[in-house]
């Protein structure tokens, strides 16, 4: 078995600004910058050409999530149509057209099949891309197909936004490209950029801004140049210098036997998180991102408390609603994992089971369970993520919902010891299952003999990246060091 503690210490030296896999969606937007930055555009175009999937589409390679494929393939096809001039480009366009027709023809059933719902901003971004693709002649008029009907929904939402301005203070800025050409009046150009030049730390939104809002804006282009990889790919979001260390430390702090060296290596990250805590609103996923949220705030509060930092829980309680804790202001639907992480904060703050806020979250979790006892969340395609965190943070508060969830994990283990619900087994999902079972057993509960051991044996053999993109942004992505910290935490817990 790998020496997980040594690898954890190495990981603590790497985490910081955030390491994330590239997405075809964001990269396609960078590829459209040809008239503004030819070098950036060419690199991104090469990435698009090299990452077309065998069926001609673009998106996550090993995870078929319909919203992801629609967004990524539309964006890539528009970029190729605008810039592709070589015979090879034209061949890729032909393959892409066939894939796109298949995708759009099955959109009604396919979009409904994604259990976690839409990717971020899909209902506004997809119609914008569809309209552009129709005008370019890439796809036929969608009419009464679901993507055509979504265009009318977008028009209705744009009408409701008339007179309002989207700026960096609100989360819709992350999907600013939804404005397209016709909707630009809803954007507030002078108050849209973050201090790092980005639009909400999104390469796609920032590329759109540099193309259509403030053409050639140098601070926006400097941001994009910084975060586009050497191979030309762009991530879903960058930086995420709060999210990466916070989630990594949360995973590592599950271990009861952290040595002195590991604790010392944690301290600079603890200091960094503490320095960015706002007493009234908590914290967001990045230091240079204006909106704050309960998901990051709840988890960071728990982490800081476990490392003996004294902070006020007011920043977490700020997100309390009548029946749950909201993740962001203006959100369309609540997040399961955000409520779970707020529960962890309440627990660390010493809130008893009968406290009204604790009971509110437990009731919310009970009413949003799948029949088998698991949970889906809008930030992650796999139920193992939310379900594992629920078991870890709700045990001692509600044994029944935890026991049902543990039983689901045990019963869904594959014969080879791995876990993975929709696709091939994954190291990340297997790690979540092991974490939950180990914490449940450590709390004095019984786990069937061999379940953890078989899982750890499989995980040891599949510990190395690349890892599948299971996280939901505008497209699917993988926060690579966060996933690695989950795997190493699980292996050390199993040891």
For residue range 23-72, list pLDDT tens digits in order: 999 999 999 999 999 999 999 999 999 999 999 999 998 888 989 999 99
Both tokens of 367, joined, read: 């009413």
pLDDT exceeding 90 applies to what percent of the chain?
78
> According to CATH, where is 1.50.10.20 located in the chain?
4-15+240-494
Both tokens of 114, joined, read: 């994604």
**Residues 6+ away with beta carbon under 8 Å from 417:** 430, 453, 454, 455, 456, 457, 458, 459
What is the arithmetic mean of pLDDT over 448-469? Answer: 96
Burial of 4 from C-beta contacts in 10 A (0-12 / 13-18 / 19+): buried
pLDDT attached to residue 423:
66
Higher pLDDT, 90 or 479: 479
pLDDT attached to residue 143:
55
User: With 90 as the cut, is the pLDDT of residue 136 above it?
Assistant: no
User: With 70 as the cut, is the pLDDT of residue 153 above it?
Assistant: no
- The CATH architecture annotation of domain 23-234 reads Alpha/alpha barrel (1.50)
> According to CATH, where is 1.50.10.160 located in the chain?
23-234
Lowest mean pLDDT: which of 21-30, 213-222, 380-389, 421-430?
A: 421-430
pLDDT exceeding 70 applies to what percent of the chain?
95
Q: Which CATH number fits domain 4-15+240-494: 1.20.58.340, 1.20.810.10, 1.50.10.20, 3.40.50.720?
A: 1.50.10.20
User: With 50 as the cut, is the pLDDT of residue 117 above it?
Assistant: yes
Q: Residue 117 in contact with residue 74, Cβ under 8 Å? A: no
User: With 60 as the cut, is the pLDDT of residue 133 above it?
Assistant: yes
For residue range 425-443, list pLDDT tens digits in order: 999 999 999 999 999 999 9
State the residue for tokens 């949360």. 250
């Amino acid at each position: 078995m790998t020496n997980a503690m040594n690898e954890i210490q190495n990981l603590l030296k790497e985490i910081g600004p955030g390491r994330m896999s590239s997405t075809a969606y964001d990269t396609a937007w960078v590829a459209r910058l040809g008239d503004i930055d030819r070098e950036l555009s060419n690199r991104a175009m090469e990435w698009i050409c090299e990452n077309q999937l065998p069926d001609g589409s673009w998106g996550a390679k090993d995870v078929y999530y319909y919203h992801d494929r629609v967004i990524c393939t539309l964006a890539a096809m528009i970029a190729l149509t605008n810039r592709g001039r070589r015979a090879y480009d034209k061949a890729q366009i032909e393959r892409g057209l066939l894939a796109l027709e298949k995708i759009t023809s099955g959109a009604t059933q396919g979009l409904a099949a994604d259990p976690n719902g839409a990717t971020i901003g899909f209902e506004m971004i997809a119609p914008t891309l569809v309209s552009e693709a129709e005008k370019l002649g890439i796809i036929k008029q969608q009419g009464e197909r679901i993507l055509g009907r979504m265009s009318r929904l977008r028009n209705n939402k744009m009408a409701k936004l008339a007179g309002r301005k989207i700026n960096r203070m609100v989360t819709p800025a992350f999907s600013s490209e939804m404005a397209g050409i016709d909707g630009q009046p809803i954007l507030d150009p002078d108050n849209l950029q973050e201090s790092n030049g980005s639009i909400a730390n999104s390469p796609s939104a920032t590329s759109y801004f540099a193309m259509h809002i403030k053409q050639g804006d140098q601070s926006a282009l400097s941001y994009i140049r910084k975060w586009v990889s050497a191979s030309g790919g762009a991530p879903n979001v960058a930086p995420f210098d709060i999210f990466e260390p916070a989630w990594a430390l949360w995973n590592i702090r599950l271990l009861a036997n952290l040595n002195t060296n590991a604790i010392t290596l944690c301290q600079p990250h603890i200091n960094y998180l503490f320095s960015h805590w706002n007493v009234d609103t908590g914290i967001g996923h990045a230091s240079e991102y204006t909106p704050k949220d309960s998901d990051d705030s709840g988890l960071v509060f728990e982490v800081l408390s476990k490392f003996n930092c004294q902070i006020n829980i007011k920043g977490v309680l700020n997100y309390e609603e009548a029946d749950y804790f909201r993740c962001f202001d203006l959100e369309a639907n609540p997040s399961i994992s955000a409520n779970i992480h707020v529960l962890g904060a309440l627990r660390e703050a010493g809130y008893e089971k009968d406290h009204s806020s604790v009971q509110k979250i437990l009731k919310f979790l009970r009413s949003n369970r799948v029949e088998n006892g698991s949970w889906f969340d809008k930030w992650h395609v796999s139920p193992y993520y939310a379900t594992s965190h629920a078991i870890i943070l709700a045990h001692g508060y509600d044994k029944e919902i935890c026991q049902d969830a543990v039983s689901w994990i045990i019963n869904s283990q594959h014969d080879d010891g791995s876990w993975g619900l929709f696709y091939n087994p994954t190291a990340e999902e297997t790690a979540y299952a092991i974490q939950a079972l180990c914490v449940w057993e450590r709390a004095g509960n019984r786990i069937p003999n061999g379940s953890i051991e078989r899982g750890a044996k499989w995980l040891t053999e599949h510990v190395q990246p690349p890892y599948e993109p299971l996280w939901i942004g505008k497209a699917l992505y993988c926060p690579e060091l966060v996933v690695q910290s989950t795997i190493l935490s699980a292996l050390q817990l199993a040891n």
